[in-house]
Amino acid sequence: MPHMDELYDSLVNLCYECVLDRDAWRPMLEQLAAVTGHQMGALLFLDQREQRPQVTSINLCDPASVKAYNSYYHQYDPAKEVLVPRPIGSWYHDREDLGAQRIRRDPYYQEFHLPFGMNSISCIKLHEQANTGIYLSLLTAVGASLPEQEQRNLLKRLSPHLLRAARMSNRLQTLELDVAHRELLLERHPAPVWLLDAEGRVLFCNHQAEQRLGQLEFALQGRQGRLQGKSLDGRLQALIRQAAGHSGKRRAGWLPLDSEPPTQLLVTPVPDASALAARHSGSLVLLALLENPPRSQLLADLFRLSPAELRLAELVTQGLAPETCAERLNVSINTIRTQLRALFRKTETERQAELANLFTRLQGL
């Protein structure tokens, strides 16, 4: 017992370190898994509108299993039907909630869990609000002993502190960078969209992009985590390098694709001031497949511009003075000045010429 009390005190301290320091979540998860008889663990984010759980970057799992779960197997996870309706603080133990017979027959376990070396799982709902939830999962490895009763008791003692730390942490909703794109309109964008890092690896593609890659006649293909252009690959990679280049030299470009109806691929640097760049390290490149490209609207999504701010930005890009913009838009000059200040703030520019240059460069005009 004295040894368990020491472990308990150490983990309680780590729980509250997580409130002030997001980097403390991983060491806390590592120690929590080790002392409670588990070999793996993860924080999960759940979008309740789609019932889609996603393993976050804070995990102790095989990266291949994380990728497989996030891209496909999440939809078959039987834990959702049991744990989601339960209140915050509820534990889900698959051996108790599902039973050994269902686990033996369930394709989720036979096709995903066991092949990746995962055995039993316990999961607690840490946090929940209108459309999102955060869960903490602990897993045993195939061939490892199941947690002993003393270890399960320790986990139960720690539960209130895990919940309190989750409630106190205003950073909890931003723990996962790989799923934050769901808050940034990319998933809901009508055009097929890919987000790449500076090395050309695909960080995210929305549902429309996944569908297009599945079409045999489509000019692009995904291979080993990267986007390739089949017969156009040389030009595509050159545009990606151009968009991901050094600061001040990054430029957007367009790649016409031979298709019906005619389409163009926008390859553009993600501005450092955008919400996307704030959530990832290094240069980012956005690719969007556009028919009669709504270029300005795509940029409005990136900078989160209002319709009025977008209309003004388009006029400023044409070189029009504020007074002329006010006449064109039939608003007062004070309204124009207020909207200009908002545009400067959102795009991190200081003058109209700088704003116009930014939009012109990003539109590839």
Positive or negative, the CA dihedral 52, 55, 61, 63 is positive
Given this model, what pLDDT does residue 275 score? 57
Architecture of domain 305-365: Orthogonal Bundle (1.10)
Long-range contacts of 344-350, Cβ-Cβ distance < 8 Å, separation of 24 or more: 346/273, 346/303, 346/304, 346/305, 346/309, 347/271, 347/273, 347/303, 348/271, 348/272, 348/273
pTM of the model: 0.49
Question: CA 167 to CA 10: how far, in whole Å?
Answer: 20
Given this model, what pLDDT does residue 322 score? 92
Given this model, what pLDDT does residue 215 score? 81
Given this model, what pLDDT does residue 187 score? 65
Given this model, what pLDDT does residue 294 score? 52
* Phi–psi pair at 122, nearest 5 degrees: -125, 135
Weakest-pLDDT range from 138-147, 178-187, 352-361: 178-187
Q: What is the pLDDT of residues 25-74, one digit of tens each?
A: 889 999 999 999 999 999 998 876 666 788 988 899 999 999 999 888 99
In this prediction, residue 182 has a pLDDT band, given cuts at 50, 70 and 90, of very low
In this prediction, residue 277 has a pLDDT band, given cuts at 50, 70 and 90, of low
Q: What is the pLDDT of residues 68-115, one digit of tens each?
A: 998 889 989 999 888 888 899 999 999 999 998 999 999 999 999 999
Instruction: Note the CATH number of domain 2-174.
Output: 3.30.450.80
Whether the domain at 190-293 and the domain at 305-365 fall into the same CATH topology:
no
Given this model, what pLDDT does residue 279 score? 57
- In contact, 209 and 192? CB cutoff 8 Å: yes
In this prediction, residue 165 has a pLDDT band, given cuts at 50, 70 and 90, of confident
Q: What does the domain layout of the chain look like in residue ranges?
A: 2-174, 190-293, 305-365
Given this model, what pLDDT does residue 133 score? 83
Q: What is the 3-state secondary structure (H, E, C) of the chain?
A: CHHHHHHHHHHHHHHHHHHHCHHHHHHHHHHHHHHCCCCEEEEEEEECCCCEEEEEEEECCCHHHHHHHHHCHHHHCCHHHHHCCCCCCCEEEHHHHCCHHHHHHCHHHHHHHCCCCEEEEEEEEEEECCCEEEEEEEEEECCCCCCCHHHHHHHHHHHHHHHHHHHHCCCHHHCCCCCHHHHCCCCCCCCCEEEEECCCEEEEECHHHHHHHCCCCCCCEEECCEEECHHHHHHHHHHHHHHCCCCCCCCCEEEEECCCCCEEEEEEECCCCCHHHHCCCCCEEEEEEECCCCHHHHHHHHHCCCHHHHHHHHHHHCCCCHHHHHHHHCCCHHHHHHHHHHHHHHHCCCCHHHHHHHHHHHHCC
List b or e across 109-136, with b for residues whose CB sees 16 or more CB atoms inside 10 angstroms. Answer: beebbeebbbbbbbbbbbbbeeebbbbb
- In contact, 356 and 317? CB cutoff 8 Å: yes
In this prediction, residue 176 has a pLDDT band, given cuts at 50, 70 and 90, of very low
User: Is residue 310's pLDDT more than 70?
Assistant: yes
Instruction: Note the CATH number of domain 190-293.
Output: 3.30.450.20
Given this model, what pLDDT does residue 174 score? 47
In this prediction, residue 295 has a pLDDT band, given cuts at 50, 70 and 90, of low
Given this model, what pLDDT does residue 223 score? 81
Given this model, what pLDDT does residue 358 score? 75
Given this model, what pLDDT does residue 365 score? 39
Given this model, what pLDDT does residue 146 score? 92
Average pLDDT, the chain: 82
In this prediction, residue 293 has a pLDDT band, given cuts at 50, 70 and 90, of very low
